[in-house]
Amino acid sequence: MATTVPLLRTALQGKSPTLRREQELWAAGKKIVVGMDEVGRGAWAGPVSVGAAVLPQDRRVYKVRDSKMLTEPEREALYDRLSHWCAAWAVGHATHRECDELGMSAALSLAAFRALDQLGVEPDHVLLDGNWDFAQNGGAELLIRGDARSLSIAAASILAKVTRDRIMRDEAEHYPAYAFESNKGYPGPVHKAALHAWGPSTIHRRSWVFMDGLVWNGLSRYRRPEAQQRLFQ
């Protein structure tokens, strides 16, 4: 049974993403329109994740908003509904290690490729949030603030955010000092204090600049080969 979505807060009323762009594309014969959004790019630990969502043309789920505008309980309730409502959906990940080894741009593209690969349908058109084609499929349409404008992108943002949050809550059991259950790997006071006291965990992105000056606890600082080369030029 689907979880009941809380009543929409007054601050969120009138800020609903629409199906206007999707409807234009459907009318033009683009049957499989995929909305995509990323989460975790600014985190210091854990994966970077990309959600992909294909919406049905004949049914509607209400109260969907950009995931950043919603509380965690609101996202969790909507996730349950969206996962049943979407005609197809998937979330792709690039691990913390892949973020280190590839760099964020390539890791984000890898997560997007995995999301599209898992959809099980061939996209006719891709809508991306932002101003960069991180899906790297050659024909994506970029929408600035797309997660607030496009319903399919907003749906993808919620699916990606909840999926990644659940991963980080599970990881919190193994790394209790860093409070991943609350910060989900993003920087915050407890997270920063734990890093300075204990050094990084095995799921931290050890090539990131925030690693400079930390206590090291047996793990080594990771530098990509090209970054190492620049240091000695």
CATH number, domain 10-171: 3.30.420.10
Q: Which residue has the higher pLDDT, 230 or 26?
A: 26
Q: Which residue has the higher pLDDT, 215 or 39?
A: 39
Q: Angle, nearest 10°, between helix axes 151-172 and 72-85?
A: 120
Q: What are the structural domain ranges in the chain? A: 10-171, 176-231
Alpha-carbon gap, residue 135 to 129, rounded angstroms: 11
Q: What is the pLDDT of residues 69-127, one digit of tens each?
A: 788 988 998 898 899 999 999 999 999 999 999 999 999 999 999 999 999 999 999 99
* Coil, strand or helix at 183: helix
Q: What is the pLDDT of residue 226?
A: 63
Q: What is the pLDDT of residue 145?
A: 84
Alpha-carbon gap, residue 194 to 189, rounded angstroms: 9
Its pTM stands at 0.88
Instruction: Grade residue 16 by pLDDT with cuts at 50, 70 and 90.
Output: confident
How many whole angstroms from its chain centre is CA 39?
A: 2
